């Protein structure tokens, strides 16, 4: 289920406060805070995003329609608040590799099937992502990979 945008404006600030608090463990297994610098204003801002971790790599997903990932380029340094600890990370943005994006998006949506609606991916009866929808979604998705500096 997709959360309505007006509701997100209320929920997101609460989640940011929670993730910066001693109670972060309630949500930090799936959400992180990414602080990055805007290309347009040259000011830092913090983005709340869901993530998956694969060894030393932290992956976040977004739609090409959103703007925040456009402030990133390969090698950009960001600060992640991950599981209660802040650290510096370097990012890699995956845009032009639909088969790789599809593979990563499938793993992400298998772990977080509730996010399938954000990518317009229907779920099969067994809650796995529909293959045709996943292929279509991979063209419209962006993957941001981060590794500790």
Instruction: List the end-to-end C-alpha distance of the chain, in Å, as a whole number.
Output: 36
Q: Would you give per-residue pLDDT tens digits along the chain (149 residues)?
A: 566 667 777 888 899 999 999 999 999 999 999 999 999 999 999 999 999 999 999 999 999 999 999 999 999 999 999 999 999 999 999 999 999 999 999 999 999 999 999 999 999 999 999 999 999 999 999 999 999 99
According to CATH, what is the number of the domain 5-148? 2.30.110.10
Is the pTM for the entire model greater than 0.85? yes
Instruction: List, as one string, the DSSP characters of 90-120.
Output: EEEEE-S-HHHHHHHHHHHHHH-GGGGGGGT
């Amino acid at each position: 289920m997709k959360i309505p945008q007006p509701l997100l404006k209320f929920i997101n600030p609460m989640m940011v406060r929670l993730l910066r608090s001693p109670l972060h463990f309630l949500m930090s297994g799936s959400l992180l805070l990414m602080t990055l610098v805007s290309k347009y204003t040259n000011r830092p801002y913090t983005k709340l995003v869901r993530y998956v971790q694969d060894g030393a790599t932290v992956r976040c997903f977004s739609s090409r329609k959103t703007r925040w990932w456009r402030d990133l380029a390969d090698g950009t340094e960001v600060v992640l608040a991950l599981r209660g600890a802040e650290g510096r990370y370097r990012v890699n943005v995956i845009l032009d590799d639909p088969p790789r994006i599809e593979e990563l998006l499938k793993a992400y949506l298998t772990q977080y099937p509730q996010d399938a609606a954000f990518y317009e991916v229907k779920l099969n009866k067994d809650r796995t992502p529909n293959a045709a929808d996943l292929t279509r979604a991979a063209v419209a998705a962006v993957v941001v990979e981060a590794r500790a500096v």
